[in-house]
Amino acid sequence: LSLKRRLQVEFLRKHNRFPNLDLHKTYSEKIAWRKLADRDQRLPIWSDKVKVKELVASIIGNKYTLPNLWMGRNPRDIPLNELAKPYVIKTSNGSGGVTFIKKGQTIFAEKIRKEVKTHLDNPFATHTDEWPYGKISPRIIVEPMLLEHHGALPVDYKFHVFSGKTQFIQVDVGRFHNHRRDFYDPTWKKQSFELKYPMLDRSLPRPEVLGEMIAVAELLGAHFHYVRIDLYNVMNKVIFGEATFFPGA
């Protein structure tokens, strides 16, 4: 099938309706159209988990980026037992493929290396037709694990930035257990719509550093028609996660 036909079939399978990719009007149609027609050559650099850190540091400073504990290309070279726990292992050329190594965790090296190789070899660009990932040189990155003061993983804040302005803030809670997802506007008013996961039955407290997070998201998203900027708020310290141009593919 042609790329356009593949996108139409996949859209039909997910949304139970045929998309209009020529007169695209809905959010989901525009994401599908972008995979078909947008060949902005900046997207592979912004999607690369290694190169994007350098970009972000050059725009807003390296205080917003996590340091690399280790970087390489071969899973067998990762010094699993020498790195300070807790840490996470990511790959530069995909999305969502993360291996968590917790404090006190027993290292089963072969299992971990096999998992990382699977993420490294995953033809993400082919599976989801997100072409920028196919332009990225596969590399492995090890970063410190972000944790709240009580040891829990931090909340994910995802800023949907349209033409340099934050329109919605997506908040994901319990990603690995009882996943819930809320949307707020920039004034922290909870929205009434859902996306894939159910809403929480309560409103979350407004982050003390919300203004700073919005400013960071808008500085990074200023030159794109649309991008989702993912940030973390760890004890009121804002940390950049990633830039996403095709959320949910």
Q: How far apart are CA 181 and CA 198, in angstroms?
A: 6
pLDDT of residue 39: 97
User: What mean pLDDT value characterizes the chain?
Assistant: 95
pLDDT of residue 78: 98
pLDDT of residue 227: 98
Q: Which of 43, 66, 87 is nearest to 231 (CA)?
A: 66
Q: Assign 97 a pLDDT band (cuts: 50, 70, 90).
A: confident
pLDDT of residue 176: 77
Q: pTM of this prediction?
A: 0.95
pLDDT for 88 beyond 90: yes
Q: Which of 136, 132, 159 is nearest to 221 (CA)?
A: 159
Over range 227-238, report the average pLDDT: 97
pLDDT of residue 94: 86
Over range 74-97, report the average pLDDT: 95
What's the pLDDT tens digit per position in 105-151? 999 999 999 999 999 998 778 889 999 999 999 999 999 999 998 88
pLDDT for 37 beyond 80: yes
Give CA separation, 223 vs 108, 130, 218, in Å. 44, 20, 9
pLDDT for 230 beyond 90: yes
> In the block, which residue shows the tokens 């203004």?
211
pLDDT of residue 238: 98
pLDDT of residue 122: 82
DSSP assignment string, the chain:
--HHHHHHHHHHHHHSS---SSS--SHHHHHHHHHHH---TTHHHHH-TTHHHHHHHHHH-GGGSPPPSEEES-GGG--TTTSPSSEEEEETT-SS--EEE-TT----HHHHHHHHHHHHH--HHHHH--GGGGGSPP-EEEEEPP--TTSPPPPEEEEEEETTEEEEEEEEE-TTSS-EEEEE-TT-PBPS--BSBPPPSSPPPPPTTHHHHHHHHHHHTTTSSEEEEEEEEETTEEEEEEEESSTT-
